[in-house]
């Protein structure tokens, strides 16, 4: 998607160690029109899979997930929580993943009341890098008995190998923009 590619090149900051800062339009402040376009692209790509819910991780995956859900005729969005609120009943669907930006393990929890065995789940997240967070979300889908129908990300950092790491799920994977290199302070898009 060209508008996203241009924003990454104009406003994205390569912070080193594979970390891309895109806070001006997604990870802190959200450009709603841009995310609406990203959501429409994801919906076009995955509409034929007939998802019944979208699953994402809090916080930065929520906006692209909502925009995709709206474009898919307002299907529900479920987001995995990183901290269990007292209102979440036991037991929960739980998986862990290392966080590159947070520097440690992150727990992802989903209440079983929002994932059912008859659901068809599309995972949407902000980044596809190593694939470990998305893999944790896919494990939650598997453990719930639901069917994983696809994986979508706003930005893929292909040099981190996440797409290959997720291939074992056997579902289509889509990224609205793909970065192939971030060495030496560069941001190189496919």
Q: Dump pLDDT digits (tens) for 9-36.
A: 999 999 999 999 999 999 999 999 999 9
SS3 141: helix
User: Which domains are delineated in the chain?
Assistant: 2-189 (3.40.50.2020)
Nearest to 116 by CA among 49, 73, 56, 53: 53
Three state DSSP letters for 65-129: HHHHHHHCCCCCEEEEECCCCCCCCCCCEEEEEEECCCCEEEEEEECHHHCCCCCEEEEEEEEEC
Tokens read off for 150: 């696809």
Give tens-digit pLDDT for 72-102.
Answer: 999 999 999 999 999 998 899 999 998 776 6
Peptide bond into 129 cis (omega under 30): no
Please count the residues of the chain: 190
The CA distance from 128 to 162, in Å, is: 6
Give one DSSP letter per residue of 18-37, joined into a string.
T-EE-IIIIISS--HHHHHH
Among 33-42, 48-57, 104-113, the range scoring the smallest mean pLDDT is 104-113
The CA distance from 52 to 41, in Å, is: 17
Please give the model's pTM, rounded to 2 decimal places: 0.96
């Amino acid at each position: 998607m060209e508008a996203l590619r241009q924003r990454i090149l104009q406003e994205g900051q390569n912070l080193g160690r594979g970390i891309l800062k895109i806070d001006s339009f997604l990870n802190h402040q959200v450009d709603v029109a841009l995310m609406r376009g990203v959501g429409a692209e994801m919906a076009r790509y995955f509409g034929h899979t007939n998802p019944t819910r979208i699953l994402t991780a809090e916080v930065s995956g929520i906006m692209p997930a909502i925009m995709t859900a709206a474009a898919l005729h307002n299907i529900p969005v479920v987001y995995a929580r990183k901290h269990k609120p007292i209102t979440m009943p036991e037991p929960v669907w739980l998986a862990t993943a290392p966080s590159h930006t947070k520097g440690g393990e992150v727990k992802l929890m989903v209440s079983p009341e929002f994932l059912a065995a008859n659901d068809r789940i599309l995972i949407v997240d902000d980044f596809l890098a190593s694939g470990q967070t998305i893999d944790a979300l896919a494990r939650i889908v598997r453990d719930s008995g639901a069917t994983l129908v696809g994986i979508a990300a706003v930005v893929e950092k292909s040099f981190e190998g996440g797409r290959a790491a997720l291939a074992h799920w056997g579902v289509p994977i889509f990224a609205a923009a793909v970065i192939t290199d971030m060495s030496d302070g560069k941001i190189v898009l496919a």
